Structure 1
Amino acid sequence: MFVAHGGGAGAGVAAGPGGLQINGLGGTSAPWTIVVLMTFLTLIPSLLLCVTPFARLLIVFHFLRQALGLQTTPSNQTLIGLSMIMTFFLMQPVGQTVYDTAVVPLQDGKITPLDALQRAGTPLRMFMSHYVREKDVNLFLELAKEPRPHKVEDLSFRVILPSYILSELKSGFQIGTVLFLPFLVVDMVVASITTSVGMMQLPPVVISTPLKLLLFLMVDGWHLLIGSLMRSFQ
């Protein structure tokens, strides 16, 4: 092997079986892989909100807690944990596809990190395209001044990401409002009865909250709510 040494702080140049190699610059993609992975870890919270059903689920659960008249039960940590578990259940097939098509080839050294990101984006775009509203897509296509694609699967992430999160917010508020109405009727009936019998010193919420909890438990509310939410993504 021939080694040429430069003077001073210059990098050495070595000629081996693979040709010339500049020492000190690295001959592997491991540093770039670490950079990509660390960047991805910092983006996980945002990705969780933007490309998954997490936002819709959490909004509905908060609406339920307010409708039942419970301020801190279940706690925020419980609702967030439940939303994450349901999100994992719904996104597992998409995550498996991303792992098979992007992560495994990247680990085997068959593709670059940029290629892996492009491959991982395809299953996510397909998932979001099923639940995005055309009205929201048209809005962001107009704002981005992009031509209308022939298929919704051809939308760029610049358009489909804000369109999807806006659609999820609307869906979450719609479900939460429908969920709120039966408990609102209970509140109105209890308030009307307590006022008519002259119980002005007793807040209606003291009576309505146990009644709403009994109603929710009698109809097996958690089972019905979770089942309806899961079916809304099928």
Structure 2
Amino acid sequence: MGWEFEDRASEAPHIDRVWRCRTSGVAEMTSVATAHWTFVVWEEDGAVRATVQGPESRAARAPVPCDTEFLGVRFALGASLRTVPMHRLVDGHVPLGEVTRRSFLLAGHRRPLPGYDDAEDLVAALTADRVLIGDPVVGRTLAGRPAGLTPRSVRRHFLASTGLTPQAVGRIERARSAASLLQAGTPISEVVHALGYYDHPHLARSLRRFVGATASGLRPRAPGPMSFLYKPRARPAS
């Protein structure tokens, strides 16, 4: 029984992380909240499947197919598909059609399934076809650079490209950072101070909502299989 996970960074501007995972004897996991959307490929019951998994506004329990290998391409904040309104993806997913072991159908064209080492090729093709676009307003805002727009306009840009408000993105990313620090053994008091929580109860409420665990439950061991808590970089799509 196990949960083997590997991930890597990418220099592609629209990719946050590429990951792969193998499960064995795991029936359920905690799906941690995330502001990012992910392209996921796996094989189940002899068939290859692919889906666009949307941002998740809170932690939830999720079933895991038995003895399965997954590949995921996690997209940078601000990257979005022109063919799918992002608000429809929040806390949901869109299965992709006509998936074979080599390709899938998206925006009227067959696309090769990505691999762990060449996911950038698919993203480059989708970008060239204008199926995948990036919002520079989201990028500048997350980088702390003035976007030259009113808060209401910035909010509209975030909702269009992430399906979430800037405040929701910030709360989710902060909770994920807190969980990563706690799993690394950082004292709770230091996490509260470093990430700007009011106090320990404030941190506890955030972790319950977005991570599905308590601070003590995250230290010093992981509380069972969780969707992937590598340290968030919040690198926006350019």
Q: TM-score scaled to structure 2, two decimals?
A: 0.23
Q: Which structure is higher in strand share?
A: 2
Q: TM-score scaled to structure 1, two decimals?
A: 0.23
Q: Which structure is higher in helix share?
A: 1
Task: Flag the structure with more relative contact order, 1 or 2, with Cα contacts below 8 A and sequence separation at least 6.
Answer: 2
